Amino acid sequence: MNIYKTIAETKKFVQHCHQNQLKIGFVPTMGALHQGHLSLIEKAKTENDIIVASIFVNPIQFNNREDLLKYPRTLDKDAAMLQQVGCDAIFAPSENEMYPEPDTTVYEFGSLAEVMEGKFRPGHFNGVAVVVKRLFDIVQPDNAYFGEKDYQQLQIIKSLVKQKNIPVTIIPCPIVRETDGLAMSSRNIRLTEVERNVAPFIYKTLLQAKEKANQFNPDELLHWVINQIKSQPLMTPEYFEIVDATTLLPISNWNECEHAIGCIALFLGSVRLIDNIGLK
């Protein structure tokens, strides 16, 4: 497995792959890898000849500087994990390599970027779009793999690819959970032992919400979930939204869309966690 630190050497590797008609599968990450990331690599291996992962903590998608500084950076450990699951190459650039000059590109995603995460993290999705577009230009993958835990991000990236006519197929992959139901996240390691013990309550609540969807209308269900989260002393809900799975616009009636999804963000102690579940 090769680790490339520069755009030039990565592009040279990619060019070699294309010259040999090798299909490239790409998994972009910010490192601090867990089984969720590795499941993306494993899925990519079944559909491509060469697997490339990127490890880059993208500063322009953090609207909270403290969050950026606390984000775990574990390149050696990540590389060992990627090698174990058969990744072929890692692109691990420095901030200066990715952004030799500030990037002032502004993307327009309409309501996709204005609800939920977009509402509470202004500028976040523009930062995501800027880095993903750059990574796609460098790696030129045939297929790119993204986890459904970041469901809104997934819809943003699909929109980016469509807008910019990028020749890549976006492959969504299911949420990978711990045995107790907590969605795997690089942030989970920041939870105290007490916080980690109550964390499964999030998924338990989402599962109950799915069961209650045929008894409650969306507004009633929304309030029920918020009240459940508030009942946990260590949890502070930021939002729970029930939205059209395609447009991400809130719904007030189950008949408004073909598929509805419930998306949640909350603080467990000082750690912000997100999750989601299909409701219809």
* Strand locations in the chain (E): 2-4, 24-29, 50-55, 89-91, 143-147, 169-173, 235-244, 260-268, 271-278
Helical pair 218-230 and 201-212, crossing angle rounded to 10 deg: 160
Tokens for 261, please give them: 């999804």
φ and ψ at residue 23, rounded to 5 degrees = -80, 130
> How many alpha carbons fall within 13 Å on the CB side of residue 100?
3
Tokens standing for residue 254: 């189950």
CA 200 to CA 177: how far, in whole Å? 10
- In angstroms, the CA 138 to CA 212 distance is 46
Annotated catalytic residue 37 = yes
Q: How far apart are CA 274 and CA 111, in angstroms?
A: 19
Give the active site residue among 16, 18, 34, 37.
37
Instruction: Tell me the one-letter amino acid at 241.
Output: E
Which residues are known catalytic residues?
37
